[in-house]
Amino acid sequence: MTKPNGSLPLIDEKAAIERVMTLMAICGKSCEEGTVVGHITSELLHAGVPKSAILVDGVNKKSPAGGEVGNLIVSLPGTVRAPRRLLMAHLDTVPLCVGSKPVRKGKEITSADPETALGGDDRSGATVVLTAILEIIRQGLSHPPLTLFWPVQEEIGLYGARYVSLPKLGNPKLCFNWDGGSAATACIGATGAYDLTIDLAGIASHAGVHPEGGVSAIGIAGLTVADLHQNGWHGLIVKGKHSGTSNIGIIGGGEATNVVTPYVKLRAEVRSHDPAFRKRLVEEFRSAFERAACSVKNDAGRAGRLRFEASLKYESFRLKESEPAVQAALGAIRAVGLDPTTRFSNGGLDANWLSARGLPTVTLGSGQQDVHTVNETLNIPDFLNGCRIGLLLATGA
Ligand SMILES: [Zn+2]
């Protein structure tokens, strides 16, 4: 454990806790972030951030999901000459958080409504970023040029970060994202993923009178799943020193038991930290479906057909410990008296897209626990340490 260096950043803890409780209570699932954008904007204006520094971009017009509002971006000049820093956290929550009623219970905040999640993912991160700038203004602290970035639509595909226009972020040299649990942990890499959509076309026929004239799309799907399973390509995948995961998550088709099923649609994903192995997983899936489609034939020798689509959901990344943003993050964690650890995520983060687009981004903790469930809580000591670390990284101290 490293000792604090005596200059532990001061924050108004009571105000920070009230701020996060207010933000978590605002409804704002993905694509419906308008109210939370409005709330943060009014807090910024009230604190004296000039209107001209605040931008709501049009990312919702570029996003495949649409949405009512774009990303919230604040660009501020520095009071000291230093490389620009970016602080970010996503605004949206999963739908389960809608209706959250945050209440404090000792060292935790939970939702008083047992049917909802809390929304600490990621309003706790959004509050860390907001608290950093409010404390800078309140305490009159010097700071480098700053970009504050609150992207929309993280939970449904990282769209706010994926489609943000990079020039609007002002060319930051160090980027920090708050979207995690422990304040001592810096996530410096994450896996990459492809989404797969497979349309299987068989041939319909009467299942009792002429089953031999049909080609069952369900038969093709079943053979494929068995093939992938038996050969170790479904679930946790370990092949020599390569590893990844895959999952067929959605399967649908068929309307009647007396018809040989002509059509089945499947949706699946594959993930791996290794980009080449991730492509290999896509190809293993494609060839398994092709083999199965060729092998199911009717009495006229006709086989099934398929359409196989793979789309990159997010690219993987892996930052070096020597990367300036990583060094700064680990230093800030030490400065609040914690022992830093680094980790790699098996899920996607907004940092995936920023890092893939040339902005190496470290993701830090803000006290989230059991996210995306009705048992979600916010750990107050981790949240407050997240705020202190945010203030240190914003001031470049
Ligand atoms: Zn999140």
Distance 361 CA to ligand 1 centre (A): 15
Across residues 376-395, what is the average pLDDT?
A: 98
Domain end call among 259, 288, 314: 314
Structure confidence at residue 5 as a pLDDT band (50, 70, 90): very low
Give the whole-number percent of the chain exceeding pLDDT 70: 98
Distance 381 CA to ligand 1 centre (A): 19
In a domain, 4, yes or no: no
- Give the model's pLDDT for residue 172: 97
- The amino acid that residue 25 corresponds to is A
What would the two tokens of residue 321 be?
Answer: 């410990």
Q: Is the pLDDT of residue 6 over 90?
A: no
Per-residue pLDDT reduced to its tens digit, 192-238: 999 999 999 999 999 999 999 999 999 999 999 999 999 999 999 99
Identify whether residues 79 and 38 lie together within a single domain.
yes
Query: From CA 386, how far away is CA 176, in angstroms rounded?
Result: 11
Domain end call among 270, 286, 314: 314
Distance 153 CA to ligand 1 centre (A): 10
- Give the model's pLDDT for residue 180: 97
Residue that the structure tokens 């419906």 belong to: 32
Query: From CA 28, how far away is CA 26, in angstroms rounded?
Result: 6
Q: Provide the number of structural domains found in the chain.
A: 2
Distance 38 CA to ligand 1 centre (A): 20
Distance 6 CA to ligand 1 centre (A): 32
Nearest to 11 by CA among 128, 174, 145: 128
Identify whether residues 41 and 167 lie together within a single domain.
yes
Helices (H), 214-321: 217-230, 275-295
Distance 292 CA to ligand 1 centre (A): 38
Distance 120 CA to ligand 1 centre (A): 8
Identify whether residues 246 and 215 lie together within a single domain.
yes
- Give the model's pLDDT for residue 203: 97
Do 258 and 206 form a contact (C-beta atoms < 8 A)?
Answer: yes
Distance 122 CA to ligand 1 centre (A): 5
Identify whether residues 24 and 165 lie together within a single domain.
yes
Structure confidence at residue 7 as a pLDDT band (50, 70, 90): low
Per-residue pLDDT reduced to its tens digit, 22-40: 999 999 999 999 999 999 9
Q: How far is CA 25 from the centre of its chain?
A: 21
C-alpha distances in angstroms, 347 versus 107, 189, 200, 315? 27, 10, 29, 11
In a domain, 263, yes or no: yes
Identify whether residues 255 and 120 lie together within a single domain.
no
- Give the model's pLDDT for residue 218: 98
Q: Which domain holds residue 266?
A: 192-314
Distance 286 CA to ligand 1 centre (A): 31
Provide the pairing of β-strand 72-76 with 242-253.
unpaired
Distance 359 CA to ligand 1 centre (A): 19
In a domain, 32, yes or no: yes
Across residues 271-283, what is the average pLDDT?
A: 96
Structure confidence at residue 4 as a pLDDT band (50, 70, 90): very low
Identify whether residues 42 and 161 lie together within a single domain.
yes
Distance 368 CA to ligand 1 centre (A): 9
- Give the model's pLDDT for residue 397: 75
Distance 179 CA to ligand 1 centre (A): 5
Per-residue pLDDT reduced to its tens digit, 54-108: 999 999 999 999 999 999 999 999 999 999 999 999 999 999 999 999 999 999 9
Distance 17 CA to ligand 1 centre (A): 19
- Give the model's pLDDT for residue 3: 38
In a domain, 158, yes or no: yes
Domain end call among 254, 287, 314: 314
Specify burial of residue 376 (Cβ count, 10 A radius: 0-12, 13-18, 19+). Answer: buried
Identify whether residues 28 and 175 lie together within a single domain.
yes
Identify whether residues 183 and 208 lie together within a single domain.
no
What are the residues whose beta carbons fall under 8 Å from the beta carbon of 167, sequence distance 6 or more?
none
Across residues 310-338, what is the average pLDDT?
A: 96
Least confident residue range of 263-267, 287-291, 343-347: 343-347
Identify whether residues 19 and 93 lie together within a single domain.
yes
Supply φ then ψ for residue 47, to 5 degrees.
Answer: -80, -10
Per-residue pLDDT reduced to its tens digit, 134-173: 999 999 999 999 999 999 999 999 999 999 999 999 999 9
Identify whether residues 390 and 256 lie together within a single domain.
no
CATH code of the domain in which 167 resides: 3.40.630.10
Neighbours of 36 (CB within 10 A): 24
Nearest to 363 by CA among 343, 346, 382, 338: 343
Do 159 and 343 form a contact (C-beta atoms < 8 A)?
Answer: no
Distance 298 CA to ligand 1 centre (A): 49
Distance 154 CA to ligand 1 centre (A): 7
Identify whether residues 322 and 310 lie together within a single domain.
no
Identify whether residues 277 and 358 lie together within a single domain.
no
Do 195 and 269 form a contact (C-beta atoms < 8 A)?
Answer: yes
